[in-house]
C-alpha cells in the first residue's frame, strides 16, 4: 500500500508526535504543530495516536491511493474531496485503490492533518518519522513532499470510523488568546512595557512557520538600561547565547515577538520575555498570517490547570470515538 | 556564583549561571547538567547545557515544577564545588578564509551590515584593532577554541576562544539577520565563533568556510556514522587556515568519504588553564600534533 503524491500543496510534510531527546544537539522535537488534531485524525482511522500523518499548511496536496484505506482530515477547515466529491472534515471516510484525494480552498485554520489507516510508514530517524526540514532529517527524504513522491503506508491496525462533533474540537478564538507565563528575561523590560505587551493586540506576520511565529503591530519594548554583559552583543535585546524553551517568546531588537514552535532553533542570543504555555501551542499552529492575537498573562497554577483541561478535551474525544 | 532559575512555561526550567560569558560559568553549567543526569530525576526529558546557562525540560504530569526546582537547587552547592576537569577531544578544523562563497553571500546582504563598504573580515579586523585581515586571521586561528554550546540548528557549535578576555575577538552581529548563509560557514557574533551546520538564516559575521562535514542526517560520512552531530560541549577546536587548493583537495576526500579529521583525546583542567593559558594551549597543540 502506498500514497502517490500527484501535487504536493504549499508545504506538506510527514509528522508524528516528534523526536524528543536531541534538543541539546540543536535537533528540535518537530512533529505536528497541532497535536490535538493529529491525534484525533489517527483515532478516526484506527491508528495509534502517534502514527505518522501528513501535515498540510494553507493548501492541501493531491494524493492517489494504491489500495483501499480509511482516511480522515482534521485541524484546519480545508475541504477534502474524493474524486471531486466533498467529504466532511473530522470524519473517517473510505477510499478505494485508484481514488484521488484533493482539497478545496481553506475556510479557517492553517494546518490540516491527513491520516491514512496504517500510518505513513517512512523510516524512523532518531525514533520518529517527523520531518525536520531545516536539518534535512526524517519524514520523506528530510523534506516537504514533491509531485511524484510515493509514500509507503503500514498495515491497518484496526477498524476506524466515526466523527468528532464541533463541540469536541478545539480552535483559536478571535483574537486568539495565547496564555503566557512571564519569565526568562522578563526583568530586562520596564514594567510599562510589560503591561503593554499583554494589553496590545498583535497580528501574525507573514514570517510564520514550523520554526516560529512572528507577531507585529504591538508596542516596541523598552529595556531596563544596563551595560551589556561580556559576550552578549551590543543590542539591548542581546544575551549571551542560551537555550530557547519551546513556546518561548523572543523579541529581537524589542520590536517583533517570535514564538518558537515544534521546529524551534534550540538557542540563540535574543532575550525572551516569557513562554506560551503547553496547552496553547496547538492553537498557534492554526493561526493564519494577519490574524489577531493577544498574549494573556497566567500563573504556573493556571498553566497547569489549562494543561489538565487540554488532556481532558483529548480524553473526551477518545471516549466519544470508543462508543 | 548563584544560579538564577526561571520557568520557561510549564515544561522548562531555564537556569542562568552568569549574565556574562566565562569558562567558569560554562563549567558550572556543565557540572549542573551532569549532576541532573546522574540524579536520574523522574520526569526530566531533556538536559541542555549552554554557554553560561542551561535548560531542563520536564513533564509536569510526572513531576511538579516547584519540586523539580527544589531538586535543582539542592544540586547547586555540590556542582559548584566540583573540580572543572574534562576528559575531552581536541580537533583540527581546516578553514578557507576569504572564500568565494561566503564572499558572494556577504556582498548580497551588504545593506544589513554595519559597514556596507567593507567585507565582514575587514570590519572585524578594524573593530578589534588588528590592523589587517591577515593579522585578524592570525588572531582567530592562532589559539584554540572551546565548544561551549551545541545548538541553534542541528550540530552547530558555539566556540569561545581560549585566551585572556582582553585578547578575545568581539564583533557585533549583523544589524538584521541574513536570510542565507552557506553551509559550513565559519561565523562570529559577540564573543562566539560558530560553524553553520546547515544552509539557512544567520546573523553572525562570515569569515570563511570549512570543507569538513560536521552534521550528517544520513549518517554516511565515515566519522558521523554513530553520531549525526560531530561536536559536543567541551570539545576543543584549532582552526587551520588553508587555501583554495587544499580546500578543493579536502572536498574531493569528503566526496569519496575518505576524509579523516584530526581528532585526539585530551584532558583539560580549568585550574591549569587559568594558571597558564599559553602553556596549556601549547600542551594541547602537542597532543593534536601527536608529539
Q: What is the CATH number of the domain that holds A285?
A: 2.40.100.10
Range of lowest pLDDT (A109-113, A159-163, B50-54, B269-273): A159-163
**Rounded CA separation B107/B110 (Å):** 5
Residue B146 is placed in which grid cell?
A: 572551546
Same domain, A107 and A193: no
| Residue A322 located in a structural domain | no
Residue A233 is placed in which grid cell?
A: 552583543
CA neighbor of B53 nearest in space, from B22, B15, B5: B15
Is a pLDDT exceeding 70 seen at residue B81?
Answer: no
Same domain, A151 and A14: yes
Question: What is the residue extent of each domain of chain B?
Answer: 4-82, 87-288
pLDDT at residue A158 in the model: 79
Are the beta carbons of A275 and B6 separated by less than 8 Å? no
Chain A positions in Cβ-Cβ contact with residue B47 (cut-off 8 Å): 24
| B5 touching chain A per CB within 8 A | no
| B109 touching chain A per CB within 8 A | no
**Rounded CA separation A21/A27 (Å):** 9
Are the beta carbons of B46 and A238 separated by less than 8 Å? no
CA neighbor of B142 nearest in space, from B277, B4, B2, B5: B277
| Residue A16 located in a structural domain | yes
**Rounded CA separation A197/A218 (Å):** 7
Same domain, A200 and A159: no
What's the domain range around A104?
2-167
| Residue A119 located in a structural domain | yes
| B61 touching chain A per CB within 8 A | yes
Same domain, A158 and A180: no
User: Averaged over A58-63, what is the pLDDT?
Assistant: 98
| Residue A79 located in a structural domain | yes
| Residue A256 located in a structural domain | yes
Range of lowest pLDDT (A184-188, B150-154, B170-174): B170-174
Closest-CA residue in chain A for B217? A137
Q: Per residue in A276-309, pLDDT tens?
A: 999 999 999 999 999 999 999 999 999 999 999 9
Same domain, A184 and A138: no
Selected residues 280-319 of chain A with any CB under 8 Å from a CB in chain B: 300, 303-304, 307, 311
User: Averaged over B71-85, what is the pLDDT?
Assistant: 84
Which segments of chain B are extended strands (E)? 4-8, 12-16, 44-49, 53-58, 85-97, 145-150, 157-161, 185-189, 192-195, 205-209, 236-241, 263-269
List the single best residue of B44, B151, B172 to mutate versus A (max A Cβ within 10 A): B151
CATH for B87-288, among 2.40.100.10, 1.10.8.50, 1.20.140.10, 3.30.56.10? 2.40.100.10
CA distance B218 to chain A (A): 8
CA distance B190 to chain A (A): 5
Same domain, A257 and A214: yes
Determine contact, residues A155/A271, Cβ cutoff 8 Å: no
Q: Strand, coil or helix: what is B102?
A: helix
Provide the CA A137 distance to its chain's centre, in angstroms. 17
Same domain, A194 and A273: yes
User: Averaged over A131-152, what is the pLDDT?
Assistant: 98
Topology adopted by domain B4-82: Gyrase A; domain 2 (3.30.1360)
User: Averaged over B17-34, what is the pLDDT?
Assistant: 95
Q: Per residue in B96-123, pLDDT tens?
A: 999 999 999 999 999 999 999 999 999 9
Chain A positions in Cβ-Cβ contact with residue B51 (cut-off 8 Å): 231, 240-242
**Rounded CA separation A51/A219 (Å):** 42
Chain A positions in Cβ-Cβ contact with residue B50 (cut-off 8 Å): 241-243, 267
User: Averaged over B230-254, what is the pLDDT?
Assistant: 97
Are the beta carbons of B154 and A132 separated by less than 8 Å? yes
Domain count of the fold of chain A: 2
Same domain, A117 and A200: no
Last residue of a domain, one of A137, A167, A197: A167
**Which backbone phi and psi does B214 adopt, to 5 degrees?**
-125, -5
Same domain, A241 and A153: no
Half-sphere exposure of A101 (CA within 13 A, CB side): 35
| Residue A212 located in a structural domain | yes
| A278 touching chain B per CB within 8 A | yes
Closest-CA residue in chain B for A125? B217
**Rounded CA separation A194/A192 (Å):** 5
Same domain, A135 and A180: no
The bridge status of strand B85-97 relative to strand B236-241 is parallel
**Segments in chain A forming alpha helices (H):** 35-44, 191-199, 281-284, 300-322
- Split at pLDDT 50, 70, 90, the class of B1 is low
Last residue of a domain, one of A167, A192, A210: A167
| Residue A321 located in a structural domain | no
pLDDT at residue A113 in the model: 98
Selected residues 5-44 of chain A with any CB under 8 Å from a CB in chain B: 20-21, 23-27
CA distances to A26, A115, A122, A123, A151 from A154, rounded to whole Å, are 30, 12, 9, 11, 10
Chain A positions in Cβ-Cβ contact with residue B192 (cut-off 8 Å): 231, 241
Same domain, A158 and A44: yes
Same domain, A208 and A263: yes
Chain B positions in Cβ-Cβ contact with residue A268 (cut-off 8 Å): 152
Is a pLDDT exceeding 90 seen at residue A234?
Answer: no
Q: Per residue in B126-170, pLDDT tens?
A: 999 999 999 999 999 999 999 999 999 999 999 999 999 999 999
**Rounded CA separation B120/B171 (Å):** 10
| Residue A102 located in a structural domain | yes
User: Averaged over A153-157, what is the pLDDT?
Assistant: 91
CA distance A300 to chain B (A): 7
Amino acid at each position: 500500500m502506498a500514497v502517490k503524491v500527484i501535487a504536493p500543496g504549499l508545504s506538506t510534510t510527514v509528522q508524528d508526535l516528534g523526536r524528543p531527546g536531541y534538543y541539546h544537539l540543536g535537533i528540535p522535537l518537530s512533529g505536528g504543530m497541532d497535536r490535538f488534531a493529529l491525534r484525533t485524525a489517527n483515532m478516526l482511522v484506527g491508528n495509534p495516536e502517534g502514527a505518522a500523518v501528513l501535515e498540510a499548511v494553507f493548501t492541501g496536496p493531491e494524493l492517489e491511493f494504491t489500495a483501499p484505506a480509511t482516511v480522515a482530515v482534521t485541524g484546519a477547515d480545508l475541504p477534502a474531496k474524493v474524486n471531486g466529491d466533498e467529504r466532511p472534515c473530522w470524519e473517517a471516510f473510505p477510499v478505494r485503490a485508484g481514488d484521488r484525494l484533493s482539497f478545496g480552498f481553506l475556510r479557517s485554520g492553517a494546518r490540516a492533518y491527513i491520516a491514512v489507516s496504517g500510518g505513513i510508514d517512512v523510516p524512523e530517524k532518531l525514533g520518529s518519522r517527523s520531518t525536520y526540514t531545516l536539518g534535512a532529517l526524517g519524514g520523506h527524504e528530510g523534506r516537504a513532499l514533491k509531485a511524484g513522491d510515493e509514500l509507503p503506508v503500514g498495515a491497518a491496525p484496526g477498524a476506524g470510523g466515526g466523527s468528532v462533533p464541533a463541540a469536541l474540537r478545539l480552535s483559536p478564538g478571535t483574537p486568539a488568546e495565547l496564555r503566557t507565563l512571564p519569565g526568562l528575561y522578563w526583568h530586562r523590560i520596564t514594567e510599562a512595557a510589560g503591561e503593554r505587551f499583554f494589553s496590545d493586540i498583535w497580528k501574525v506576520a507573514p514570517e510564520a512557520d514550523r520554526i516560529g511565529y512572528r507577531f507585529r503591530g504591538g508596542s516596541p519594548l523598552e529595556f531596563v538600561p544596563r551595560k551589556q554583559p561580556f559576550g552578549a552583543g551590543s543590542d539591548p535585546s542581546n544575551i549571551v547565547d542560551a537555550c530557547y524553551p519551546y513556546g518561548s517568546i523572543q523579541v529581537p531588537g524589542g520590536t517583533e515577538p517570535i514564538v518558537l514552535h515544534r521546529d524551534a532553533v534550540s538557542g540563540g542570543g535574543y532575550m525572551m520575555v516569557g513562554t506560551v504555555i503547553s496547552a496553547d501551542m496547538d492553537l498557534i499552529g492554526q493561526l493564519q498570517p494577519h490574524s489577531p492575537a493577544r498574549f494573556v498573562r497566567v500563573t504556573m497554577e493556571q498553566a497547569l490547570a489549562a494543561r489538565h483541561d487540554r488532556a481532558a478535551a483529548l480524553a473526551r474525544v477518545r471516549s466519544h470515538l470508543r462508543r | 556564583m548563584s544560579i538564577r532559575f526561571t520557568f520557561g512555561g510549564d515544561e522548562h526550567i531555564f537556569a542562568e549561571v552568569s549574565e556574562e560569558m566565562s569558562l567558569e560559568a560554562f563549567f558550572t553549567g556543565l557540572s549542573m547538567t551532569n549532576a541532573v543526569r546522574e540524579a536520574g530525576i523522574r520526569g526530566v526529558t531533556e538536559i541542555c547545557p549552554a554557554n553560561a546557562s542551561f535548560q531542563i525540560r520536564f513533564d509536569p504530569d510526572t513531576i511538579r515544577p516547584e519540586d523539580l526546582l527544589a531538586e535543582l537547587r539542592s544540586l547547586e552547592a555540590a556542582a559548584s564545588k566540583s573540580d572543572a576537569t574534562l576528559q575531552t577531544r581536541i580537533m583540527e578544523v581546516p578553514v578557507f578564509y576569504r572564500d568565494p562563497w561566503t564572499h558572494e553571500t556577504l556582498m548580497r546582504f551588504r545593506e544589513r551590515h554595519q559597514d556596507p563598504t567593507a567585507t565582514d573580515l575587514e570590519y572585524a579586523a578594524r573593530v578589534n584593532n588588528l590592523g589587517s585581515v591577515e593579522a585578524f586571521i592570525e588572531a582567530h586561528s592562532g589559539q584554540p577554541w572551546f565548544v561551549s554550546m551545541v545548538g541553534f540548528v542541528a550540530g552547530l557549535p558555539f566556540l569561545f576562544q581560549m585566551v585572556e578576555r582582553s585578547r578575545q575577538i568581539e564583533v557585533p552581529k549583523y544589524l538584521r539577520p541574513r536570510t542565507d548563509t552557506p553551509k559550513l560557514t565559519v561565523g562570529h557574533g559577540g564573543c562566539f565563533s560558530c560553524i553553520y551546520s546547515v544552509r539557512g538564516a544567520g546573523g553572525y559575521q562570515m569569515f570563511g568556510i570549512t570543507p569538513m562535514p560536521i552534521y550528517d542526517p544520513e549518517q554516511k560520512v565515515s566519522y558521523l556514522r554513530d553520531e549525526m552531530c560531530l561536536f559536543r560541549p567541551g570539545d576543543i577546536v584549532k582552526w587551520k587556515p588553508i587555501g583554495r587548493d587544499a580546500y578543493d583537495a579536502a572536498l574531493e576526500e569528503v566526496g569519496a568519504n575518505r576524509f579523516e579529521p584530526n581528532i585526539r583525546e585530551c584532558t583539560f583542567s580549568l585550574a591549569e588553564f587559568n594558571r597558564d593559558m599559553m602553556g596549556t594551549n601549547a600542551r594541547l597543540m602537542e597532543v593534536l600534533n601527536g608529539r
